[in-house]
Structure 1
Amino acid sequence: MRLHRLTVTAFGPFGRTQTVDFDALSAAGLFLLHGPTGAGKTSVLDAVCYALYGGVPGARQVPGPSRLRSDHADPDTRTEVVLDLTVGGRRLEVTRQPEQLRPKKRGTGLTTEKAQSWLREYDAVTGTWKALSRSHQEIGEELTQLMGMSREQFCQVVLLPQGDFARFLRAGAEERAKLLGRLFDTRRFAAVEQHLAELRTTAQRRVRDGDERLLALAHRMRQAAGTGRELDGAAFEDLSPGDPGLADAVLEWAALARSAARERRDVTAAAVRAAEDAHTTARRRLEEARERDRLRRRHAAARRRAEALAAGAREHDRDRARLERARAAETVAPVLEARERAEAERRRTALAEERARDRLPADLAQAPAERLADLERATRQELGALDAARHAEERGARLAAELARLERESGEDEELLREAEEWLAGWEATRDAHQRRVDAAVEAASRAEQLARRLDTVRRRLEAARSRDALTAEEAATRAELAAAHERALAAKQDWLDVRARRLDGIAAELAGELRDGEPCMVCGSPDHPVPARPGARHVDRQAEEAALERHRRAEEAHRLIERRLDSLRERLALAGEEAGEASVAELADEVAGLETEHVDARRIAAGAADARAAFERLQREHEVRQAARRDAERRAASRASRREALLAERDGLREQVARARGEAASVAHRADELERRAALLASAAEAVSAAEAAARRLKEADARLADAAWHAGFDTPQAAADARLTDHEQRVLQRRVDDRQAEEAAVAAELADPELADAAALPPVDVDAAEAALDAAVARLNAASAADAEARRRCEELDRLSARALADARALAPQREECDRVTRLAGLAAGTSAENERRMRLESYVLAARLEQVAAAASARLTQMSGGRYTLVHSDARGPGRGRSGLGLHVIDAWTGSERDTATLSGGETFFASLALALGLADVVTEETGGLRLDTLFIDEGFGSLDDQTLDEVLDVLDSLRERDRSVGIVSHVADLRRRIPVQLEVVKGRAGSVIRHRGATPE
């Protein structure tokens, strides 16, 4: 990278345009940038950095739109930096204008001008400049890529700040790590350390979670195991999650708990077997006692039953005799029942015959059955002859109904045709009216949309007008406030200038006040002070000037704040004015109200568009229906006329046939009903007479059979047989009593004959309650033993299950624990906290140590020359004191004494040329690190005042040797001796109108 030309305008202390011709300065290889304090030497370097990176070094960053603008510049002059340089084999020109305040083109006040950038490239073939970009981002990316280093690296290796490197020589490991980390970008190694630390934390958390699960299982096993002296004082109770040996302690105690649980289970199992034997014995004894007691009770009950049977023997004999007579009467029962049925039939048929004869005419009341049957057959023959006439009469009725229906339908169709004709007559007018309604609704909808857009526009104008009026009042108040602030600022500035002039007038007296007898004067150097100046009446000191300056600055700052606020108000007022136009708030409000009324009316009309369309569609459908109905009615009328003529002809033919058949009756149907009733009456009467005669014959035959059956059954009369009969229920009840007595007699005899019962009755009685109590006690002992055994088995099963889970968790946790140990060791090594890392060197420090070793080697070559072969810089990885880290130590070897000591022990002059050598060596290493970019222009800032003449010559020789590599070095210093030693100079001269730049010993192009 080589700088050719720098042009600054209204930048920093430079009120007007200033140009630095680096080509002229670089021709000598070594040039001096000097000037009084505060003149702007560092601002030249800031301009170079701002042109390349869009920002100044971090320590001099100031927020705000006027942070880089010169206070001495004309308000209409824009702040601008133009840098012409060659980088990466390309000749480029970069122009940057920062964000700044400027006077408004219209009106009063200030407005903010946005930052702008331009990048051009020189075309050697055509000899012209070609524009590349105006984008801040694109220009920044292009230059950063060509430079190959960040702004921090550039400020460290091109603008060499000697103060930083002097602090670097005396700094500790952490401070050196921060600087080297920024230059060599070792964030990826720090990220590796962080990643390993996160892995360690995750692995430790995983192991700790696993140990907590193991401890939880151990406590659950402790609860499952119960209490026992052999389980007290478990080893795992003294351990915490993460402690080594926790898993082994838990598994060991689990094995002991399982062994103890199994022993208790064996003991309870033996107790259960003993309880079961005792229970079996008690239950057998109880069963034997209950059986003997049962047999004794059976024998006593049998004796009581035998006595009861003997007492009821006479009643049993009566039941048997009555049952036998009832069974004998059962043989007569069918004949008796048949005779009763014949009697009932005779009475029923006689009554029916009497009723049938009462309905017959008087001449037939006593006619025999044969006569009645003959009359019935003759009547039915006559009825058959009326069937054809009856069908003709029914057809005639249907024809009359059909003709009536046709007449009714004809009337309905005529009414329908009349309505259709009337409706269709007004179709055109109705259709046009509905169409006009639809068109009006559509037009209203379109008008409503237009009105809505106009209403939104006018509403925005109304809001803008209200804001305009409010901002106008606020702008007037702020303008008055600005005028007052401007007056205060001018007064404060004038006061400061007056105080400063008064102090300058009496500066000799102020200097004289610092004179001491025998001490040289800081102006003339004489130790004698014959006539020191005396302060006048208007003299002020430095504190008064600084107080006046501070008041002036505060007034200026207040003025700028009000200006910015006024600019913002004016911008907002301009926007509101453009939006609102010239109309007043009242006019716009009236316009909004009128538009809102029109919009509401239009929306109301447009809201009926859907209903209007639907009504129009319904009207069209009804028109189609009406036309179709008219056509259908006309078609039905034509069909109905032909049908009516055919029906009338058929009806006239049927009337003659019906008249002949009905005779004197009202109709053929009435005549047929009369004949049907006569035939039915004759038939029922003939049937009733025949049935009565047959029933009388069957009753006589039944009387004869009943008398014969009673005699054969042993009864004197049929009535005696009837009295001996019993109902089925009575027979079953009587038979059951007889059977039950016989069964009871047999059972009692069998019981009394049973030898087992007799033997049990002969034995003494037994105590069943005592046997039951003994069994209850045995059951209680068995239940208690079973419960204890079940509990012991449950504990064993629970311990086995929990132990299996603990073993599985321990096995699963083993590789995690190994991984945790491995990651913990690796993270400790990377972080420098592990005992295995003897030098306590972090991974990032290790990488930085290698870089520092390269820097020390590169710096030693120049330091040896600067110190006349006496000093050499070496890197040291010795461990720091206390808990400090190692790896970033820097020592100097003194060839005269052969001793090696820390760089913090160097004197002031030694520190300067050591830090200069370190800066140059760092520039070489960073250059190689960033891709070998050639740095043809370097700047060294301050520090030369601490060197003696001989050391200064050696340092200048080293710097002058850089010209062998076609480099130019600019020394930034106010040391007077350097102006004599370095002929090519760039002087920065400050003045009340701003600083100016002068070239000395070099003629700018």
Structure 2
Amino acid sequence: MKPIRLVFQAFGPYPGRQEIDLEALGRAGLFLIRGETGAGKTVILDAMAFALYGRSSGGARGELGAMRCQLAAEDTPTEVAFDFETGGRRYRFTRRLRVRRKRSGSTELIPEQDAFFRNADGDFEPFFENPKQSLVEGKAEELLGLGYDQFRQVVILPQGQFERLLVAKPDEKEALLTTLFGMGQWGEAAERLGEKTLAEQRALETLRQEKAALCRAAGCGQEGEITLKKQALQTQIARLQKQSEEAGREAALAAQALEEATVLDSAFARLDDAEKLCAQLEGQAEEQQRRRETLGLRELAEPYDRWRRAVRDARLVRETVQSSRQAEADCEARRTALEKEEKQAAEQRELLRQKAEKKPALDAQLTLLEQRRTFAAEAAGLAEQLEKKRAERKSCDETYKLCVEESSRAAALHLQALSCELAEGLSDGVPCPVCGSTHHPAPAHAAQGEMTRERLQKINQRLEKANAAALRCAAACDALEEQARAAERRLERAGGYDPAVHAAVQNQGKAANAAVCKLEVLEKKLAGFAARRSQLDLEGRTVRASLQNGETKLARMEAAEEAVRLELDRLDPDGAGQARLHDEKPSPALFTQLEKELREYDAQLSAAREAVRAGRAQLEGQARPALDALRERRDGLRGQEKQAYSDAKVAQGQLSRLCGTEKQVLEINRALASRGEAFDRLAAFTRLVRGQNGVSLQRYVLGVMLSAVTAEANRLLENIHGGRYQIYRTLETSGRTRKAGLELEVLDRQSGGRRGVATLSGGEKFLVALSLSIGLSAVTQAQSGGRELGAIFIDEGFGTLDTRSLADAMGALAAVRSSRGMVGIISHVGLLRESIEPGIEVIKKKGGSTLRVIL
């Protein structure tokens, strides 16, 4: 990463906009950030950290809102923008606190962040449409290959943090190095391995419990009891199978005897059924005799039906004749009504025609009356206008009269005023300019009220206007009088206008119009009378023809009825058969059915009597068998067979399940044997990786990385104090957990012995810690993928060094500068100011700090 430009405003103690050309400072190589204590030197590093990760370089200053300058204007937003270059491309990260005013008048700060890259056109283009804080921070980690904690240890060495790695306890050092080197995966791998070992242990225990549960379910306390129980079940199954076979043979013999007895019992049952059927049929003899008598009425039924049909047909014809006679009377009545209605319509038509004939004369009269009404309305309107104009003329005349009187008075007052003015200039012995007299016995005196020339002119103007208005009104009035006289003459020539006569003629016209309309309707109605008469004539002829045919048919029907009546009297003189036919109403189908049923009855009775005779002959001398006893014996033997067979099946099921259980137990034993060996190896490997017997895998890897860090630090220490100190990682264990591999010690070549880092003096500890931090930065850079880190910033710590140590530190920093390209130091040590000219000078003022770049 190569820093290019840093811009911020309203940030920390800086209320105004500050811009730092880091690219120009990078060309100088080593530069110093100097200024008074509290001026805001570290805030410059905070601005870079905030732009990238949203947190300060020291990690203790809180969110961006806590860094807002309290001296900035209320509406000035807090902004930080950091441009840098990596991988040959330029990027820009920004943070901003936008000030938004609420409706209540108070303000709130809205945090915003974004990340940009410079495209081929040289413009900065955003990475995200919605730049959330997590996305921007993730993009910074992706581009730099460093997280926030790694950035603080590799690029920015915060104030007071040099000794953290040097003097930290092993556990703290392990946590710090795990974060910096991203070694958490080794610990996670150990945890996952432990979880896998525990899961396998639980699985083995589950198998053991499953085996014990299988034995308990089989009713065995131990595995060996399963074999003994199998042998007992096999013996029991053989015995039950033999019992089932013997019971089956006896049940077959009992079933054969029952079958023979069932055949004999069926013969006895058929004889009983035949005797019951014979008795039942003989009990129906009286009913069948009545049915035979009903069948005997078949000869009488045909003429009886013909007589009934003849009576019915004659009744229907009589009703038809009666309806025809009624229809004939109705036709005659309707014809009479039609003739009467036609006569009334003709009389009404004549009256309407007389009224309609008056319509043309009435229309002409109405036209004349409308013209007269127009003339009358015109004359009335002009008369009304004339009356108004006369009133207006009278008003104008009165106004003119008043104006004349006012003008006369004004002229008199004006003349009096002129006389007074002239009198004021008269004196005895001086001739009067009007009469020439030198004697002035009665000079004019001023009258009440002053009349000026201007006022007199206004009054005369009003008089002229009133005169012109009176003349215009008089002319208009004369014109209206002439128009009104002309309208009256036109009305008189037309004959005058009477509203009552006009209304009467209008009523007569309306009546004539209504008569015309009614006459048209009535004409249509009269035209329809002829059609209605023709329809009635046709209907009357049809009804009379129907009546004549009905009377003829009725006479023929009555003759046929009488002939059938005579035939019935011959066949059934006493009428008994006819009475039965009337009550029972037998149909031809019934006679056919009775004949068929009687034949079937005779055949069934004969067959039943023959079956009784034959059955008695077949069973003579034999007894009826006891089927229930035979059936009970057969069922009992079959039950014994089924029970023995069922018991054998149950025992076979138990044997099958027991064999399955035995097989499952054997499989579990094999699984326990194979998985147990693998579990022992897994458990041993887990203890080794987790360091339960010494150093864990994660601590071992961290130890290797720490050795690389100490190697880098020792290369720098070779140029400090003549290479007196070297730092090494010790393998001795410490703490209750007996963990080893992360302790540090210092080799003092002057004394030739090793000692703890806590024994170093303040300046020595700073130089060793600085070398260790620079070494850590180099290893972290290599471990981050080899990304080039073109800058390192060191915050304070040089105040504890003497002149020689300071010179050694500067030599070490010069070596770092050759590999990094830019080294920035924050310090107020005077010697550094003299040695390092390029830099940034922070100026502390009452209204806030400002800065100045020195190249």
TM-score of the superposition, structure 2-length normalised?
0.50
Residues 579-598 of structure 1 mapped to structure 2, 5 A cutoff: none
1:850 to 693, 701, 704: 704
CA distance in structure 2 between the partners assigned to 1:383 and 1:202 by the alignment:
107
Relative to 1, partners in 2 of residues 1:938 and 1:674: Cα closer, same or farther, differing over 3 Å?
A: same
CA contact (8 A) 2:304 2:568 kept: no
- Note the C-alpha offset of 1:676: 1.7
CA contact (8 A) 2:82 2:94 kept: yes
Q: Secondary structure at the match of 2:722?
A: coil
1:171 corresponds to which residue? Answer: 168
CA distance in structure 2 between the partners assigned to 1:944 and 1:670 by the alignment:
159
Pairing 1:156–2:153 present: yes
CA distance in structure 2 between the partners assigned to 1:264 and 1:134 by the alignment:
77
Pairing 1:680–2:572 present: yes
- Note the C-alpha offset of 1:12: 0.8
CA distance in structure 1 between the partners assigned to 2:325 and 2:754 by the alignment:
142
Residues 960-999 of structure 1 mapped to structure 2, 5 A cutoff: 960-965=814-819, 967-999=821-853
Residues 364-513 of structure 1 mapped to structure 2, 5 A cutoff: 394-399=312-317
Pairing 1:807–2:666 present: yes
Residue by residue, what CA displacement relative to the aligned partner does 1:355-374 show, whole Å, maximum 9, x if unpaired? Answer: xxxxxxxxxxxxxxxxxxxx
Residue by residue, what CA displacement relative to the aligned partner does 1:129-160 show, whole Å, maximum 9, x if unpaired? Answer: 77877856765555443322222211110111
Pairing 1:929–2:783 present: yes
Residue by residue, what CA displacement relative to the aligned partner does 1:336-355 show, whole Å, maximum 9, x if unpaired? Answer: xxxxxxxxxxxxxxxxxxxx
Tell me the amino acid that sits aligned with residue 74 of structure 1: A
Residue by residue, what CA displacement relative to the aligned partner does 1:368-425 show, whole Å, maximum 9, x if unpaired? Answer: xxxxxxxxxxxx9999999999866654545566789999999xxxxxxxxxxxxxxx
Residue by residue, what CA displacement relative to the aligned partner does 1:497-546 show, whole Å, maximum 9, x if unpaired? Answer: xxxxxxxxxxxxxxxxxxxxxxxxxxxxxxxxxxxxxxxxxxxxxxxxxx
Relative to 1, partners in 2 of residues 1:206 and 1:76: Cα closer, same or farther, differing over 3 Å?
A: same
- Note the C-alpha offset of 1:911: 2.5
Q: Secondary structure at the match of 1:936?
A: coil
CA contact (8 A) 2:303 2:564 kept: no
Tell me the amino acid that sits aligned with residue 725 of structure 2: Y
CA distance in structure 2 between the partners assigned to 1:76 and 1:13 by the alignment:
17
CA contact (8 A) 1:392 1:658 kept: no
2:390 corresponds to which residue? Answer: none
Pairing 1:203–2:62 present: no
Percent sequence identity over matched residues?
A: 30
2:15 corresponds to which residue? Answer: 15
CA distance in structure 2 between the partners assigned to 1:408 and 1:192 by the alignment:
121
Relative to 1, partners in 2 of residues 1:191 and 1:389: Cα closer, same or farther, differing over 3 Å?
A: same
CA distance in structure 2 between the partners assigned to 1:148 and 1:43 by the alignment:
24
1:476 corresponds to which residue? Answer: none
CA distance in structure 2 between the partners assigned to 1:659 and 1:402 by the alignment:
13
Residue by residue, what CA displacement relative to the aligned partner does 1:791-839 show, whole Å, maximum 9, x if unpaired? Answer: 9999999977755543343334444444443443333333222xxxxx6
CA distance in structure 2 between the partners assigned to 1:823 and 1:862 by the alignment:
44
CA contact (8 A) 1:13 1:70 kept: yes
CA distance in structure 2 between the partners assigned to 1:122 and 1:799 by the alignment:
79
Tell me the amino acid that sits aligned with residue 43 of structure 1: V
2:76 corresponds to which residue? Answer: 77
Relative to 1, partners in 2 of residues 1:978 and 1:937: Cα closer, same or farther, differing over 3 Å?
A: same
Unaligned runs of 5+ in 2: 240-297, 329-536, 578-649
2:689 to 811, 830, 842: 830
CA contact (8 A) 2:49 2:57 kept: no
CA distance in structure 2 between the partners assigned to 1:130 and 1:799 by the alignment:
77
Pairing 1:917–2:771 present: yes
Pairing 1:194–2:48 present: no
Tell me the amino acid that sits aligned with residue 195 of structure 2: E
CA distance in structure 2 between the partners assigned to 1:793 and 1:130 by the alignment:
83
CA contact (8 A) 1:66 1:101 kept: no
Q: Secondary structure at the match of 2:726?
A: strand
2:66 corresponds to which residue? Answer: 67
CA distance in structure 1 between the partners assigned to 2:304 and 2:10 by the alignment:
140
CA contact (8 A) 1:399 1:651 kept: no
1:710 corresponds to which residue? Answer: none
Relative to 1, partners in 2 of residues 1:648 and 1:95: Cα closer, same or farther, differing over 3 Å?
A: same
Pairing 1:868–2:722 present: yes
Relative to 1, partners in 2 of residues 1:817 and 1:105: Cα closer, same or farther, differing over 3 Å?
A: closer
Residues 239-258 of structure 1 mapped to structure 2, 5 A cutoff: 258=224
Q: Secondary structure at the match of 2:198?
A: helix
Which is further off, 928-937 or 666-675?
666-675
1:886 to 731, 737, 740: 740
CA distance in structure 1 between the partners assigned to 2:783 and 2:30 by the alignment:
26
1:40 corresponds to which residue? Answer: 40
Relative to 1, partners in 2 of residues 1:264 and 1:680: Cα closer, same or farther, differing over 3 Å?
A: closer
Relative to 1, partners in 2 of residues 1:668 and 1:71: Cα closer, same or farther, differing over 3 Å?
A: same
Q: Secondary structure at the match of 1:841?
A: coil
CA distance in structure 2 between the partners assigned to 1:947 and 1:384 by the alignment:
155
Relative to 1, partners in 2 of residues 1:116 and 1:792: Cα closer, same or farther, differing over 3 Å?
A: closer
CA distance in structure 2 between the partners assigned to 1:106 and 1:983 by the alignment:
52
CA distance in structure 2 between the partners assigned to 1:984 and 1:24 by the alignment:
10
CA distance in structure 1 between the partners assigned to 2:689 and 2:45 by the alignment:
40
CA distance in structure 1 between the partners assigned to 2:725 and 2:749 by the alignment:
6
Residue by residue, what CA displacement relative to the aligned partner does 1:319-344 show, whole Å, maximum 9, x if unpaired? Answer: xxxxxxxxxxxxxxxxxxxxxxxxxx
Tell me the amino acid that sits aligned with residue 945 of structure 1: G
Residue by residue, what CA displacement relative to the aligned partner does 1:774-794 show, whole Å, maximum 9, x if unpaired? Answer: xxxxxxxxxxxxxxxxx9999
Q: Secondary structure at the match of 1:963?
A: helix
CA contact (8 A) 1:891 1:900 kept: yes
Residue by residue, what CA displacement relative to the aligned partner does 1:847-895 show, whole Å, maximum 9, x if unpaired? Answer: 3333223222222211222242233334455544542333434444444
Tell me the amino acid that sits aligned with residue 70 of structure 1: C
Q: Secondary structure at the match of 1:66?
A: helix
Residue by residue, what CA displacement relative to the aligned partner does 1:594-614 show, whole Å, maximum 9, x if unpaired? Answer: xxxxxxxxxxxxxxxxxxxxx
CA contact (8 A) 1:34 1:987 kept: yes
CA contact (8 A) 2:310 2:561 kept: no
Q: Secondary structure at the match of 2:4?
A: strand
CA contact (8 A) 2:327 2:543 kept: no
Larger radius of gyration: 2
Relative to 1, partners in 2 of residues 1:792 and 1:978: Cα closer, same or farther, differing over 3 Å?
A: same
Residues 114-133 of structure 1 mapped to structure 2, 5 A cutoff: 115-117=111-113
Q: Secondary structure at the match of 1:16?
A: coil
Relative to 1, partners in 2 of residues 1:943 and 1:219: Cα closer, same or farther, differing over 3 Å?
A: farther
Relative to 1, partners in 2 of residues 1:189 and 1:656: Cα closer, same or farther, differing over 3 Å?
A: same
1:147 to 120, 126, 144: 144
Residue by residue, what CA displacement relative to the aligned partner does 1:926-981 show, whole Å, maximum 9, x if unpaired? Answer: 22222322222211123323333323221211112233336221222344443344
Pairing 1:6–2:6 present: yes
Q: CA RMSD in A?
A: 5.3
CA distance in structure 2 between the partners assigned to 1:667 and 1:998 by the alignment:
152
Relative to 1, partners in 2 of residues 1:215 and 1:947: Cα closer, same or farther, differing over 3 Å?
A: farther
Residue by residue, what CA displacement relative to the aligned partner does 1:286-310 show, whole Å, maximum 9, x if unpaired? Answer: xxxxxxxxxxxxxxxxxxxxxxxxx
Residues 102-113 of structure 1 mapped to structure 2, 5 A cutoff: 102=99, 104=101, 108-113=105-110
CA distance in structure 2 between the partners assigned to 1:67 and 1:86 by the alignment:
29
CA contact (8 A) 1:403 1:647 kept: no
CA contact (8 A) 2:159 2:797 kept: yes
CA distance in structure 2 between the partners assigned to 1:867 and 1:402 by the alignment:
154
Pairing 1:50–2:47 present: no
Tell me the amino acid that sits aligned with residue 812 of structure 2: V
Q: Secondary structure at the match of 1:67?
A: helix
Q: Secondary structure at the match of 1:935?
A: coil
